Amino acid sequence: MFYYLFFEKLRQFFSPFNVFKYITLRSAYAAITALLICLIMGPFVIRKLRSLKVGQTIRQEIKETHNHKAGTPTMGGLLILAALLSATVLWARLDNPLVGIVIFSVIWFGGIGFVDDYMKITRGAAGMKGWQKMLAQAVGAFAMAYYMYAFAAPPTDGITPNTALCFPFFKNIRPDLHWLFIPFAMVVIVGSSNAVNLTDGLDGLAIGCVICSGDLCRSFIHHEPLYYQ
């Protein structure tokens, strides 16, 4: 939103607005925006969840080690998703189709998490069954992988195929997976989602896992604008 307002509409009247074309500036301000939303809205959301008695339930198998977490407000991911989506809409270039993939992934996988938490609250600690969650994740991952394979714009260098992998520290190694890009991307997406979910369930460190898994996906799948434009 701000990119179109300040860079495309108002820079002709005030040249310093040219800075809004830089990804680095918009990324920094998007991070600040998300942080402020969490700091301002966080206490209210926690109080609201407590008043609604939206508390964490503990599985029978891990009661001995995690029983002290019982009643901790759950569904806090709604605040994270709201902050992320708000910052993206305000600072990203929404004409980039890969930004649309990110927004879709946040809504889809966030929706799975919401349904899982809601079922835990209403039905006890069970939540969604494992196969149900994996199926929903696989459907979303397939949609994103196929879109990147068939429709997403190729890298700006005009040389590297859209389905190529880039390995950190090995700039000249870029194998082209062709149609195998789809199952590979699905494994990366579903694996990253579950890795974050499982670790968060043990230690409550979701945001650190989200940062690491996001950078991992960006490193292996050659779509550099995916997270930053």
Written in H, E and C, the secondary structure of 58-115 is CCHHHHHHHHHHCCCECCCHHHHHHHHHHHHHHHCCCCCHHHHHHHHHHHHHHHHHHH
Other Cβ atoms less than 10 A from the Cβ of 141: the count is: 24
Q: What is the pLDDT of residues 57-82, one digit of tens each?
A: 555 555 555 555 555 666 777 888 88
Strands (DSSP E) contained in the chain are none
Q: What is the pLDDT of residues 24-57, one digit of tens each?
A: 888 888 888 988 998 998 888 878 777 776 655 5
Please check the confidence at residue 181 and state whether its pLDDT lies above 60: yes
Is residue 29 within 8 A of residue 91, CB to CB? The reply is yes
CA torsion through residues 71, 72, 77, 82, sign = positive
Tokens of 210: 């989200």
Residue 108: which pLDDT band, with cuts at 50, 70 and 90? very high
Return the half-sphere exposure (C-beta side, CA atoms, 13 A cut-off) of residue 62.
12
More confidently predicted of 127 and 194: 194
Tell me which amino acid residue 164 is: A
Q: Identify the pLDDT of residue 26.
A: 84
Q: Identify the pLDDT of residue 217.
A: 46
User: Rounded to an integer, what distance in angstroms lies between the CA atom of residue 77 and that of residue 112?
Assistant: 11
